[in-house]
Amino acid sequence: MASSELQKRAIYFLGFVALLTAVLIFFPSDETIFSYTATQLGLQVLADGSLATLAGQKPTMMGDTTISLVVNVLRIVKILLWMTVVVTIVRFVFYSITKALYRNGAPGEVSSLLQTVISVIIYIVSFFIIFQTQFPGVQLAPLFTGSTIIGIVVGLALQDTLGNLFAGLALQADQPFQVGDVVIISGRGEGVVEMVSWRGVKIRTFQNKLLVISNSVLGKETIEVAPKDNLNAKAVFFNTLYSHSPTRTIQFVREAVRQVDNVSKKMRPVVRIRNLGDNGIDFEVKYWLDDYTIQHDTDALIRQRIWYVFQREKIDFAYPTRTLHIEPKPVEAAPDEVVNNIAEHLNRIPIFNPLSDEEIERLANASTSRVYAPGEAIVRAGQVGNSMFVIIRGSVKVQITENDYQKTVNTLAEDDFFGEMSLLTGEPRSASVIAIVETQVLRIDKNGLKPILEANPELVGVISELIEERKMALTKEVAKSDELEISPKKGAITSIRKFFGLQ
Ligand code: CMP
């Protein structure tokens, strides 16, 4: 696409330059214009080049002046036409160079400042040469060197512009940052560099505003740069009550942060105690970002994940101890009520239909409720699994890895269950299960299920049928990626019996 654009421009360019050149070639010479104008004014050009009236007398001053005016105006037109040719050629050459150098990337980083400086030099030199060919008698150089007054006036007028230009040149030579880098300019703001020009720098702030700073101002400031091709780090802070084990907190938070999008997989996040504060233990999470320009979104997601993990693991944030925090205690459901609620859900699951009310209640007693954030993994492929889950609220997707991509093989919703394969056969998790929205699940572990399976051999049959079905579906997908080892030949029923030590 880019090359066809270049071709189109090349055709326009050649056509335009050819047209201008043709006009210049066929442009009437000074002599032609001179004699034509003289004839129009009723004069004749003598053999020595001087003018005379048709009657052979000396022409009036008026006639002489008009002819030289016409000749000079046409010379200026010629200069303008030549300058148009020069400008067109220079612009096309720069365009082609930019295209050739940045065929795949953004051309934004080509030094537009350098382009401008080179173009201006070429224009000035070309103008001198063209001007001298048209007006050989006029000396341009003394105009620039001789006039001190003009120098001072122009100098004063361009003081700021030249200051910016030279500061810009220094910036180009130094290249402390490039387009796409995140910069923090002390006292002025922070954002992503969008453009570096000969006048200044344009920065897109995180509020999507444009911050324009002139080069001369920028030269005096301290600039903190987070280059876009660098593994930049950030810190997020949180705290917990003194009653919670920091080791546990660190372990849970690190695991939660690792799963957040844009947290680099190249470096393990660091979670550590920053301070033993007045209100509780102050922690910091140091993590590295793939894309630093969306750092604030990533910070927010990390805080959100910390909240969820705290909620699940019953860890409390520390409140300021000096603030009187009076909050009506939420009326907690009585244990019986909780068990009844869980039992109600378990009753709705078809595979548990054969169970008696007492067995359902026993199962409900052995289950715990957990909440997961959108995008959070509830189980991960390949891990050892000793629990299964029933979805009470929300939905999940079942994913396998195929050529480095996460492929969704199924989605499950309220009253569906998952995680039964590993729990019942002892094999590693066959797939990852990720919460699509905030999802509440019931977690049933091996010890809770064992007495139920022992008392209901037909349940083993029903579950193993479903496991076989899911395995078949997975085998089809996995055959392409051969990421996980699924053994459909080995009957699930045998595995379950063996794993649970059943007859
Ligand atoms: P488990 O292997 O313990 O962990 C991943 C879970 O994903 C697995 O148990 C099943 O419960 C579930 N699962 C695997 N394949 C499918 C499928 N094709 N459809 C629905 N759920 C599945």
The CATH number of residue 202's host domain is 2.30.30.60
Over range 177-181, report the average pLDDT.
Answer: 89
What residue owns the CA closest to ligand 1's atom 12?
Answer: 418
Alpha carbon distance 108, 178 (integer Å): 9
More confident residue, 111 or 443: 443
**Among the ranges given (15-24, 302-311, 314-323, 348-357), the one the predictor scored with the smallest mean pLDDT:** 314-323
Same domain for 309 and 188: no
Q: What is the 474 CA–ligand 1 centroid distance (Å)? A: 8
Alpha carbon distance 314, 366 (integer Å): 18
**Among the ranges given (3-7, 103-107, 266-270), the one the predictor scored with the smallest mean pLDDT:** 103-107
Domains: count for the chain: 4
431 lines ligand 1 (CB under 6 A): yes
Q: Binning pLDDT at 50, 70 and 90, where does residue 338 land? A: confident
Same domain for 275 and 375: no
- Token pair 């903190």 is at which residue? 224
What residue owns the CA closest to ligand 1's atom 9?
Answer: 419
Residue 320 lies in a domain: no
Average pLDDT over all residues of the chain: 83
Most confident of 36-40, 66-70, 427-431: 427-431
Over range 327-343, report the average pLDDT.
Answer: 73
Residue 322 lies in a domain: no
Q: What is the 123 CA–ligand 1 centroid distance (Å)? A: 71
The whole-number pLDDT of residue 488 equals 46
Alpha carbon distance 402, 480 (integer Å): 7
Q: What is the 363 CA–ligand 1 centroid distance (Å)? A: 21
Residue finishing a domain among 278, 313, 348: 313
Residue 371 near residue 439 (C-beta atoms within 8 A): yes
The whole-number pLDDT of residue 295 equals 94
Nearest atom in ligand 1 to 473's CA: 18
Same domain for 252 and 122: no
More confident residue, 485 or 3: 3
Nearest atom in ligand 1 to 422's CA: 3
Same domain for 219 and 240: no
**Residue 274 in this model has a pLDDT that exceeds 90:** yes
Q: Binning pLDDT at 50, 70 and 90, where does residue 481 land? A: low
Pocket test for ligand 1, best of 427, 430, 442 (most atoms within 8 A of CB): 430
Pocket test for ligand 1, best of 395, 465, 470 (most atoms within 8 A of CB): 470
Same domain for 108 and 214: no
pLDDT tens for 426-458 read 889 999 999 999 899 999 988 888 888 888 888
| Domain harbouring 278, CATH code | 3.30.70.100
Nearest atom in ligand 1 to 430's CA: 2
Residue 58 lies in a domain: yes
**Residue 44 in this model has a pLDDT that exceeds 70:** yes
More confident residue, 2 or 258: 258
Q: What is the 379 CA–ligand 1 centroid distance (Å)? A: 10
Same domain for 353 and 489: yes
Query: Strands 377-379 and 432-435: what pairing?
Result: antiparallel
497 lines ligand 1 (CB under 6 A): no
Same domain for 438 and 374: yes
Phi, psi of 483 (to 5 degrees): -80, -40
419 lines ligand 1 (CB under 6 A): yes
What residue owns the CA closest to ligand 1's atom 6?
Answer: 419
The whole-number pLDDT of residue 253 equals 96
pLDDT tens for 183-205 read 998 888 899 999 887 778 899 99
Phi, psi of 413 (to 5 degrees): -130, -165
470 lines ligand 1 (CB under 6 A): yes
Same domain for 129 and 27: yes
Amino acid in position 53: T
35 lines ligand 1 (CB under 6 A): no
Residue 165 lies in a domain: no
472 lines ligand 1 (CB under 6 A): no
Q: Binning pLDDT at 50, 70 and 90, where does residue 315 land? A: very high
Residue 325 lies in a domain: no
**Residue 142 in this model has a pLDDT that exceeds 90:** no
Most confident of 115-129, 209-223, 239-253, 473-487: 239-253
Residues sharing a CB contact under 8 Å with residue 447, sequence separation 6 or more, in sequence order: 366
What are the residues facing 190 on neighbouring strands?
184
Residue 444 lies in a domain: yes
Same domain for 195 and 100: no
The whole-number pLDDT of residue 110 equals 46
Residues sharing a CB contact under 8 Å with residue 76, sequence separation 6 or more, in sequence order: 134
The whole-number pLDDT of residue 489 equals 44
Alpha carbon distance 181, 183 (integer Å): 6
473 lines ligand 1 (CB under 6 A): yes
Nearest atom in ligand 1 to 431's CA: 5
Q: Binning pLDDT at 50, 70 and 90, where does residue 296 land? A: very high
Same domain for 341 and 307: no
Nearest atom in ligand 1 to 432's CA: 5
Same domain for 487 and 411: yes
Residue finishing a domain among 92, 112, 138: 138
Over range 490-501, report the average pLDDT.
Answer: 69
Most confident of 42-51, 62-71, 163-172, 410-419: 410-419
Structure tokens at 393: 């609220």
Same domain for 427 and 410: yes
Residue finishing a domain among 138, 154, 188: 138
429 lines ligand 1 (CB under 6 A): yes
Over range 310-334, report the average pLDDT.
Answer: 76
Residue 473 lies in a domain: yes
Q: What range does the domain containing 437 cover?
A: 335-500
Residue 150 lies in a domain: no
396 lines ligand 1 (CB under 6 A): no
| Domain harbouring 448, CATH code | 2.60.120.10
Q: Binning pLDDT at 50, 70 and 90, where does residue 211 land? A: very high
Give 111-117 contacts, CB < 8 A, sequence gap 24+.
Answer: 111/172, 111/196, 112/195, 112/196, 112/197, 112/198, 113/165, 113/168, 113/169, 113/172, 113/196, 113/197, 113/198, 114/172, 116/197, 116/198, 117/165, 117/169, 117/198
pLDDT tens for 377-430 read 999 999 998 899 999 999 999 999 888 888 999 999 998 999 988 988 888 999
**Residue 252 in this model has a pLDDT that exceeds 90:** yes
